[in-house]
């Protein structure tokens, strides 16, 4: 049963969500709060949405459950297709060329990684690039992928790397499935050599990002669409600081850097808009 939400309750929860996660829910989407929160309102024996709000500040688990309920986790392997072709055909070769003979590793960050399909798709793309370009001397372990999300619940799924047949059918070609996955009683498990490239961590992009090193490529696809313009500007400034000179930034297919920063140049690679950090 869907509970009724009063206007002042919506205002309270909207502000709480904005401050705690950066997600900005417009008034016309008030229904998202009622439909997503009604079930566990009863499970937590809260008498009203206002009661839920008052408890969240004192209960870390309830707070986390609230944020997870209000976060969208739509994802799939090789989502949209073209960013991964651009990664293999253009971005990785350019990064490798800029790296030159340096022995340093190549660092990539997948943000809002949800249940892990994006970082695993990146890792598979890296394996394929190394296989097809043996003359470079690079091997997959020369790459490090950080993968983060605000939800520890979805990160636990990502760390397991086990997916149903339907989940792998959404985007994984048969040849890659046979090479980089193992059959599992629940469907398919990501092969260890793919999993070993990735480090998962819980991270809230609405909070100042601690400096964790320089990156060659940042992927923040379909994440900032839920944030206010001011927060997006702050995040993009941090992206610029974290990237190597002329490092790469990929956003979602419907997103743009326009109006957020003039510190990036834009390259059009087929259907993919590629942003380069200007130093």
pLDDT category of residue 237 using cuts at 50, 70 and 90: very high
Claim to verify: residue 86 and residue 45 sit in the same structural domain: no
Lowest model confidence (mean pLDDT) among 20-24, 79-83, 84-88, 216-220: 20-24
Mean pLDDT of the chain: 90
Claim to verify: residue 161 and residue 92 sit in the same structural domain: yes
Q: For residue 110, is it within any domain? A: yes
pLDDT tens digit sequence for 127-185: 999 999 998 989 999 999 999 999 888 999 999 999 999 999 999 999 999 999 999 99
Position 36 scores a pLDDT of 80
Closest among 207, 209, 232, 152 to 19, alpha carbons compared: 207
CATH number at residue 228: 3.40.50.150
Q: And the tokens for 81?
A: 């297709």
Claim to verify: residue 37 and residue 144 sit in the same structural domain: no
Q: For residue 51, is it within any domain? A: yes
Q: For residue 194, is it within any domain? A: yes
Claim to verify: residue 183 and residue 151 sit in the same structural domain: yes
Residue 254 is part of which domain span?
82-277
Q: For residue 123, is it within any domain? A: yes
- Inter-CA distances, 269 with 42, 250, 254, Å: 50, 12, 15
Claim to verify: residue 98 and residue 217 sit in the same structural domain: yes
Claim: this prediction has a pTM higher than 0.95: no
- What is the 3-state secondary structure of 133-180? CHHHCCCHHHEEEEEEECCHHHHHHHHHCEECHHHHHCCCCHHHHHHH
Position 273 scores a pLDDT of 94
Pairwise pLDDT comparison (40 vs 231), residue with the higher score:
231
Domains identified in the chain, total number: 2
Claim to verify: residue 90 and residue 179 sit in the same structural domain: yes
Q: For residue 206, is it within any domain? A: yes
Claim to verify: residue 60 and residue 108 sit in the same structural domain: no
């Amino acid at each position: 049963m869907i509970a009724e939400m009063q206007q002042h309750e919506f205002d309270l929860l909207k502000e709480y969500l904005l401050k705690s996660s950066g997600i900005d829910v417009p008034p016309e989407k008030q229904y998202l709060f009622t439909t997503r929160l009604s079930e566990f309102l009863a499970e937590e024996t809260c008498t009203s949405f206002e009661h839920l709000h008052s408890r969240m500040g004192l209960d870390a688990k309830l707070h986390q459950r609230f944020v997870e309920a209000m976060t969208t986790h739509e994802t799939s392997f090789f989502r949209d297709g073209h960013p991964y072709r651009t990664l293999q055909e253009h971005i990785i070769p350019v990064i490798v060329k800029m790296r030159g003979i340096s022995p340093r590793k190549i660092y990539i960050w997948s943000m809002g990684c949800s249940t892990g399909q994006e970082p695993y798709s990146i890792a598979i793309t890296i394996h394929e690039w190394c296989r097809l370009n043996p003359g470079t001397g690079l091997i997959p372990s020369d790459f490090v992928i950080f993968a983060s999300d605000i939800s520890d619940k979805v990160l636990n799924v990502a760390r397991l790397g086990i997916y149903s047949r339907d989940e792998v059918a959404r985007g994984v070609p048969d040849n890659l499935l046979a090479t980089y996955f193992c059959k599992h009683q629940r469907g398919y498990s990501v092969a260890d050599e793919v999993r070993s490239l990735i480090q998962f961590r819980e991270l809230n992009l609405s909070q100042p990002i601690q400096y964790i090193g320089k990156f060659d490529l940042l992927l923040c696809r379909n994440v900032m669409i839920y944030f206010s313009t001011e927060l997006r500007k702050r995040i993009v400034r941090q992206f610029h600081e974290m990237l190597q000179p002329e490092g790469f930034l990929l956003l979602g297919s419907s997103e743009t850097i326009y109006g957020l920063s003039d510190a990036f140049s834009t390259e059009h690679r087929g259907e993919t808009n590629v942003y380069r950090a200007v130093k």
